[in-house]
């Protein structure tokens, strides 16, 4: 699990930076920026834990990821003026985070013995995109995953690949496959500017 | 329970159509439309399940209603231009759904042995109107149940009629009474254009 | 606990009045005003109970606080025109409520045997400010705790003082200290018009 932990940390930093930047743009105060940063980073996992009755949520029992979010948010406040230069790097880290969170979330279906394809996808997607949805609701935006990009779809395909390779691939390989599939789809959709159609 | 299941399917279709139409109007992408459709249809039940600790929520353990929502949303996308003609039909089905969802939700108070009038009303109303509230929050509208119509009030009266006839009426009759009372109040409020007062 | 119960009632009234006034300003109907009033008053506690798996939430098992909220909301509707005169009183009661709710919420960490500093702060703050956040989301405002005032910060300092005096002070004294610290910080921030900085 060490590898996924490292990936999770990378993702948490990217998610927390995105949350903090949103907060700064929306003229929130320092507390609001921290809250938005934390929410974006751990909100998806909290939502998933509430859905499966894993209470209190993991993010509250082990504050590591909240602490990482706070440090990221403080960094974002300090280098705010210069952060646009790192836009591509942040988007790349965000894609890594989406993959890591989706894989970890989908894996909870196995740990909780509710290993159906539907629940695995729901838990993966909720963990991956839930934080961003809550952030957007807090700042009064229609959640961006509903509007513009191939984001949740990457998580869905990733989690599905997890489920359907469990019988074929050994040990934790399906989980890593989920991470790779999700992140790669997300990165490709950014590079080639792919979007879902609007009716 | 077969009758209520059929009513629940009718309601799910109506709720999912309403959600999909909202998504199309708000220019969401295809994923957003599907999500809004699913949320409107099963969001109330998920919220109720989280309130009573029934995890993972029923809608995730048995994906039937999610599948119905997805099919309804796809139909809505295909016949979008012509759907205004069916407006009255959809409103009627929506009232049927409100009644069926409220009755099923209120019934959970009995199944979970928390059969007080207050909890039965809360569970009935949450199941009936919760999905619409989440949908409205997602698209940045003040929830319509707070603003305009006799909607939640119909569910409250229905759930109360459920509770207070348990001692008098046999078997599942109070549950069906809840369905009838809720749906009829809702339909009458549409026909006669009844609203709650604004201060 | 009697003292904290009384303080909780004062706070519930203040929170419910604030919710009802928001509803009136936003032109909600009577049901919407009641819902906003109830949500503001008991929403934080419900959120906290969902986070720790205390289901169904206390506010639904014992409807006392919901009943108090409804009565407060009705009073708000009746004396709406004259309520501005009582603005200072309401703000004072709100600060008392924030303290009482934070103390009661933080105390759940002990009752549930999850007595870490982080969880105690999370439960205290969630109980204290959660209802106001949900209210603001319902009426399409960015939650005011993220924007303007020393509000959540008061609850954080209060809950931290609770945790770190447990070893030193006897019995329920740390809980009352939490109440006093939270309320006093909040009141001072109103009197001296203190705000958190914006980046």
**Per-residue pLDDT tens over the stretch A56-87:** 999 999 999 999 999 999 999 998 878 777 77
The answer, for C61 touching chain B at a CB cutoff of 8 Å, is: yes
CB–CB contact A80 C122 (8 Å): no
Rounded CA separation C38/C100 (Å): 17
The answer, for A3 touching chain B at a CB cutoff of 8 Å, is: no
Confidence at residue B81, expressed as pLDDT on a 0 to 100 scale: 80
The answer, for A65 touching chain C at a CB cutoff of 8 Å, is: no
Tens digit of each residue's pLDDT (9 = 90 or more) over C50-105: 999 998 999 999 999 999 999 999 999 998 878 777 778 888 888 998 999 999 99
Rounded CA separation C134/C127 (Å): 12
Rounded CA separation C151/C101 (Å): 13
**Does a cis peptide bond (omega within 30 degrees of 0) precede residue B50?**
no
The answer, for C195 touching chain A at a CB cutoff of 8 Å, is: yes
Tokens of B156: 């409250």
The answer, for C194 touching chain A at a CB cutoff of 8 Å, is: no
How many helices (H) does chain C have, and how many strands (E)? 8, 0
The answer, for B51 touching chain A at a CB cutoff of 8 Å, is: no
Tens digit of each residue's pLDDT (9 = 90 or more) over A132-172: 999 999 999 999 888 877 899 999 999 999 999 998 999 88
CB–CB contact C24 B143 (8 Å): no
Confidence at residue C98, expressed as pLDDT on a 0 to 100 scale: 94
The answer, for A23 touching chain C at a CB cutoff of 8 Å, is: yes
Could you tell me how far CA C112 lies from the centroid of its own chain?
A: 20
Q: What is the DSSP string of A42-86?
A: HHHHHHHHHHHT--S-HHHHSTHHHHHHHHHHHHHHHTGGGGGGG
CB–CB contact A66 C118 (8 Å): yes
CB–CB contact C35 B152 (8 Å): yes
Contact between C93 and C13 under an 8 Å Cβ cutoff? The reply is yes
Q: What is the DSSP string of B12-76?
A: HHHHHHHHHHHHHHTT-BHHHHHHHHHHHHHHHHHHHHHHHT--S-HHHHSTHHHHHHHHHHHHH
Confidence at residue C11, expressed as pLDDT on a 0 to 100 scale: 85
Candidates A119, A122, A142; nearest CB to B26: A142
Name the residue of chain C whose CA is nearest to B149's CA. Answer: C29
Q: Within a 10 A sphere around the Cβ of A199, how many other Cβ atoms?
A: 15
Name the residue of chain C whose CA is nearest to A28's CA. Answer: C147
The answer, for A31 touching chain C at a CB cutoff of 8 Å, is: yes
**Banded pLDDT at B89 (limits 50, 70, 90):** confident
Tokens of A32: 């609001």
Tens digit of each residue's pLDDT (9 = 90 or more) over B94-107: 899 899 999 999 99
Q: Is A106 a residue whose pLDDT tops 80?
A: yes
The answer, for A56 touching chain C at a CB cutoff of 8 Å, is: yes
C neighbour chains, 3+ CB pairs within 8 Å: A, B
Handedness of CA C81, B145, C139, A39 (dihedral sign): positive
| Strongest mean pLDDT among A120-129, B3-12, B139-148 | A120-129
On the 0-12 / 13-18 / 19+ scale of CB atoms within 10 A, B168 is exposed
The answer, for A26 touching chain C at a CB cutoff of 8 Å, is: yes
Can you give A130-193 as a three-state secondary structure string? HHHHHHHHHCCCCCHHHCCCCCHHHHHHHHHHHHHCCCCCCCCHHHHHHHHHHHHHHHHHHHCC
| Residue of A24, A40, A60, A82 to mutate, testing the C interface (most C Cβ within 10 Å of its Cβ) | A60
A27: left (phi over 0), alpha (psi -120 to 50) or beta: left
Confidence at residue B105, expressed as pLDDT on a 0 to 100 scale: 95
Cβ-Cβ contacts under 8 Å, A142 against chain B:
26, 28, 138-140
Contact between C28 and B149 under an 8 Å Cβ cutoff? The reply is no
pTM of the model: 0.94
Rounded CA separation B163/B118 (Å): 9
Distant-in-sequence, close-in-space partners of A106: CB < 8 Å, separation ≥ 6: A120, A121, A123, A124, A127, A158, A159, A162, A163, A175, A178
Rounded CA separation C153/A31 (Å): 8
CB–CB contact A51 B53 (8 Å): no
Name the residue of chain A whose CA is nearest to B60's CA. Answer: A119
ipTM for the assembly: 0.91
B neighbour chains, 3+ CB pairs within 8 Å: A, C
Tokens of B56: 């993972």
Tens digit of each residue's pLDDT (9 = 90 or more) over B19-49: 999 999 898 999 999 999 999 999 999 999 9
**Count of positions (residues) in chain C:** 199
Tens digit of each residue's pLDDT (9 = 90 or more) over B134-169: 999 999 999 988 887 789 999 999 999 999 999 999
Q: Within a 10 A sphere around the Cβ of C68, how many other Cβ atoms?
A: 20
Q: Is A1 a residue whose pLDDT tops 70?
A: no
The answer, for B80 touching chain A at a CB cutoff of 8 Å, is: yes
CB–CB contact C141 A139 (8 Å): no
Q: A198 by DSSP, 3-state: which?
A: strand
Task: Quote the mean pLDDT of chain A.
Answer: 91
CB–CB contact A29 C152 (8 Å): no
Tokens of A81: 């003026």
* Nearest to A129, CA basis, from A100, A105, A98: A98
Distant-in-sequence, close-in-space partners of A16: CB < 8 Å, separation ≥ 6: A37, A38, A40, A41, A68, A69, A70, A72, A73, A76
Confidence at residue B6, expressed as pLDDT on a 0 to 100 scale: 85
Residue C53 distance to chain A (closest CA, Å): 6
Q: C110 by DSSP, 3-state: which?
A: helix
């Amino acid at each position: 699990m060490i590898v996924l932990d490292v990936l999770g940390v990378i993702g948490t930093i990217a998610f927390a930076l995105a949350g903090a930047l949103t907060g700064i743009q929306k003229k929130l105060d320092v507390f609001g920026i921290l809250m938005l940063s934390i929410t974006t980073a751990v909100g998806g996992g909290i939502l998933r834990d509430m859905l499966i009755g894993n209470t209190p949520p993991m993010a509250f029992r082990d504050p590591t990821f909240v602490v990482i979010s706070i440090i990221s948010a403080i960094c974002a406040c300090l280098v705010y003026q210069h952060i646009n230069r790192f836009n591509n790097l942040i988007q790349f880290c965000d894609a890594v985070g989406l993959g890591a969170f989706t894989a970890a979330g989908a894996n909870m279906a196995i740990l909780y013995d509710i290993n159906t394809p539907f629940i695995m996808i729901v838990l993966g997607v909720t963990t991956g995109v839930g934080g961003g949805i809550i952030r957007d609701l807090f700042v009064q935006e229609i959640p961006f995953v509903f509007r513009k990009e191939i984001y949740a779809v990457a998580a869905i395909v990733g989690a599905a690949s997890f489920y359907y390779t469990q019988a074929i691939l050994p040990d934790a390989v399906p989980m890593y496959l989920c991470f790779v599939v999700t992140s790669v789809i997300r990165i490709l959709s950014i590079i080639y500017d792919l979007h879902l159609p609007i009716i």
